[in-house]
Structure 1
Amino acid sequence: MNTIRLPKALGLERASGVYILILFIVVFGAMKPGLFLSASTVHSVASQQAIVALLAIAVLVPLATGVYDLSIGATVNLTAIVVCVQQQYHGWGMWSSIALAIACGVLVGVINGFIVVVLHVNSFIATLGTATVIAAVQSIVTGQSQPLPPTSPQWLDLTQMEVLGFQVVVVYLFVVALIAWRLLQHTPAGRYMYAVGGNAEAARLAGVRVGVWQWASLIWSGTICGIAGVLYASLVGPSLTFGGALLLPAFAAVFLGATQFTPGRFNIWGTVLAVYLLATGVKGLQLLTSVQWLNDMFNGVALLVAVAFAVWRQRRAARPTPLVVPVDNSPAAKAGSRPAPTPEREPTADNIAETAITT
């Protein structure tokens, strides 16, 4: 009897999240068809989670180089406040305010990189401290009061204009995701970043400038946070606390996404899939139970499961395989001669990066 085999890319090991997402849609759609499958629910989930997915991409790039950025939530809050305050209280134009907000995000990335690379402070501690300082700066900027959002039609259309029935913020997400995917998967810069994250010392010995790539990844993270802050301010309005609530969902999506498509490696499309997988599960359970704490519970469990799975895969890959020595019955072997040993490749930046990509 002939059996149908799925391509390896669509197997459960690489694309289980796709099948779980389909299962969620079928189950919750059958139980709450009038609510879960409504156009308003689909559009709201797609738009709201676009900001989360942007932050997850901001988290992913530094993680690819082996460093953490815990300042993403504070950076989003700061840039959202800056873009609104400059327009509402200082008379700046929309585009100049957006440029200043994104520049603030870039500046945060530069400062984080300096602390981590030059001062050699652990990235976890450094970015956590930076987040606390940013929170103080945002209180100074706002006077601890909620700033009013701009109300011009041009500002609202920045994210609320519709494309194929979805708000344009979803399009922005996929543009950023496509650029990040291209950078990480199809450029030397991406290979070096993965090489640094895979084995920083080996990459350094191969001539890769480890500090430069870690610094660049943190600047990239700050830039995306600046973009996300601007988009969130246009979509919902500025907030003093919103960014902190996105820290857990962003990290959960990145680690869960590392189990998809290219298991064991942080990747863009696995992360985007994980964001919408988690959001779909949370939305369905909330419609069934009306319990508000499910969001934190669901994301926390997903993060623990994803990390535990990654550790299990790493340990399984590290198990020694039994050594099988083939018996050579050729005349040369019987005569006692041995073939010349194959020379080992010298470590270079390219083959270190190649090893990091393929493992």
Structure 2
Amino acid sequence: MSAVASHTAPSAALRFARGINVGLAIFLVLYGTIAVMQPSYFEVEGFLNFLRRAAPLIILACGQLFVIAGGGFDLSMGSLVTLTVLGGSMLAGGNPENTWWTIGVLYLIGLGVGLVNGLVVTLLKVPSIIATLGMLLSLNGAALMWSGGAPRGYLPENFRALGRLVYRDVPVTGIMPLSVLILIGSVGIAAWLLHATVFGRQVLAVGDNPRAAELSGVPVGATRVLVFVISALSAVTAGILLGGFAGVSTAVGQGLELQAIAACVIGGAQLLGGRASVTGAVAGALSLFALFTLLNLMGLPQPLRETVQGLILIAAVASSAWRMRRA
């Protein structure tokens, strides 16, 4: 018995490591190419600035990972990002005194969106891809009606500081963007929830076999609702950071939900649930953002970037399906 166990454990660990290293290897190759073209990326400050810009996508990928691990998809993330940015500018109205209660309201909106998604999937038995597609359309419509179809108002400086503030004269690193600190906290919470709590094991169990999980006492309905809440709250966090980077735009969240899904799959997450790694999702998001950065440095047009993004998503899904067949 012990011989079999000792043989099985390294095998599982090796498969886990391979799932992470694929995304990490891709990122290292792409980032090395970027650094050759722009040597400043070899410096610590250059890498931290890269992380600062990649932070929203990484946070989105971590939130999407919980839904994928539980056997679903959340297509409403990008539209919720857009609603966060537009709604933040409308609520705050450029007044710094309105920033904190505005952020509180935005998180309440995110909580509501997550609860609706989860309850529709759980109680009405609507497939998650359909439920969240409907939410995507609803949120886009709400954002456009609220803003009148064009950006209105502007975000106060203390709101935008969450995305673009950079602390100077920091020991060792020289600088430390506030968004990187938010990123570290968000990834740490996600890793703790998925890999070190009973809830994380329940999510993976529901994604692997919901019927077996239910028979073993796992609260399947509550678990599914919670993963959509986590996804929605991560979208609000990403929207707050993106508002700090680029200001108010009606297209700020366009396509981000597909990028988050692709990042998770590149990082080794299994579509339809049962296997996921926060480290892998982070590596996948870094790889995807490094590719976009490289395409920008090469001066390639936006349509080509979207084409490449689509091809990456197809390849990532095909790779996940191939891994499932082998398993």
Partners of 1:104 and 1:11 in 2: CA distance = 37
Does the residue aligned with 2:205 lie in a helix, a strand or coil?
A: helix
The change in CA–CA distance for 1:293 and 1:44 in structure 2 (over 3 A counts) is farther
Partners of 1:12 and 1:245 in 2: CA distance = 28
The change in CA–CA distance for 1:19 and 1:230 in structure 2 (over 3 A counts) is closer
Cα deviation, residue 8, structure 1:
4.6
The change in CA–CA distance for 1:89 and 1:157 in structure 2 (over 3 A counts) is closer
Asked whether 1:100 is paired with 2:105, we answer: yes
The change in CA–CA distance for 1:147 and 1:122 in structure 2 (over 3 A counts) is same
TM-score by length of 1: 0.77
Task: Tell me if the contact between 1:80 and 1:101 (Cα under 8 Å) persists in the aligned partners.
Answer: no
Partners of 2:254 and 2:155 in 1: CA distance = 23
Task: Tell me if the contact between 1:149 and 1:233 (Cα under 8 Å) persists in the aligned partners.
Answer: no
Structure 2 partner of 1:16: 22
Cα deviation, residue 195, structure 1:
0.1
Structure 2 partner of 1:59: 64
Partners of 2:133 and 2:29 in 1: CA distance = 37
My pick for the range that moved more, 81-90 or 226-235, is: 81-90
Does the residue aligned with 1:244 lie in a helix, a strand or coil?
A: coil
Task: Tell me if the contact between 1:257 and 1:273 (Cα under 8 Å) persists in the aligned partners.
Answer: yes
Partners of 2:222 and 2:265 in 1: CA distance = 24
The change in CA–CA distance for 1:83 and 1:157 in structure 2 (over 3 A counts) is same
Matches within 5 A, 1:43-54: 43-54=48-59
Aligned pairs, number: 307
Structure 1 partner of 2:86: 81
The higher radius of gyration belongs to: 1
Which among 223, 230, 237 is matched to residue 240 of structure 2?
A: 230
Matches within 5 A, 1:177-326: 177-258=187-268, 265-317=275-327
Partners of 2:136 and 2:162 in 1: CA distance = 27
Cα deviation, residue 311, structure 1:
1.7
Structure 2 partner of 1:134: 139
Cα deviation, residue 34, structure 1:
4.9
Structure 2 partner of 1:160: 164
Cα deviation, residue 217, structure 1:
0.8
Cα deviation, residue 117, structure 1:
1.0
**What code does the residue aligned with 2:267 have?**
G
The change in CA–CA distance for 1:81 and 1:205 in structure 2 (over 3 A counts) is same
Partners of 2:34 and 2:230 in 1: CA distance = 37
Tell me the percent identity: 28
The change in CA–CA distance for 1:91 and 1:16 in structure 2 (over 3 A counts) is closer
Structure 1 partner of 2:5: none
Does the residue aligned with 2:275 lie in a helix, a strand or coil?
A: coil
Q: Gapped runs of 5+ residues in structure 1?
A: 1-6, 318-359
The change in CA–CA distance for 1:17 and 1:59 in structure 2 (over 3 A counts) is closer
Asked whether 1:176 is paired with 2:186, we answer: yes
Deviation digits for residues 296-338 of structure 1 (CA, Å, limit 9, x no counterpart): 2333222222222222222222xxxxxxxxxxxxxxxxxxxxx
Task: Tell me if the contact between 1:52 and 1:250 (Cα under 8 Å) persists in the aligned partners.
Answer: yes
Partners of 2:20 and 2:139 in 1: CA distance = 39
Q: Gapped runs of 5+ residues in structure 2?
A: 1-12, 168-172
TM-score by length of 2: 0.84
Q: CA RMSD in A?
A: 2.7
Cα deviation, residue 91, structure 1:
8.6
Cα deviation, residue 295, structure 1:
2.7
Task: Tell me if the contact between 1:9 and 1:15 (Cα under 8 Å) persists in the aligned partners.
Answer: no
Greater helix proportion: 2
Task: Tell me if the contact between 1:65 and 1:217 (Cα under 8 Å) persists in the aligned partners.
Answer: yes
**What code does the residue aligned with 1:180 have?**
A
Name which structure has the greater RCO, CA cutoff 8 Å, separation 6+. Answer: 2
Cα deviation, residue 122, structure 1:
1.3
Does the residue aligned with 2:249 lie in a helix, a strand or coil?
A: coil
The change in CA–CA distance for 1:292 and 1:40 in structure 2 (over 3 A counts) is farther
Task: Tell me if the contact between 1:286 and 1:294 (Cα under 8 Å) persists in the aligned partners.
Answer: no
Cα deviation, residue 158, structure 1:
2.3
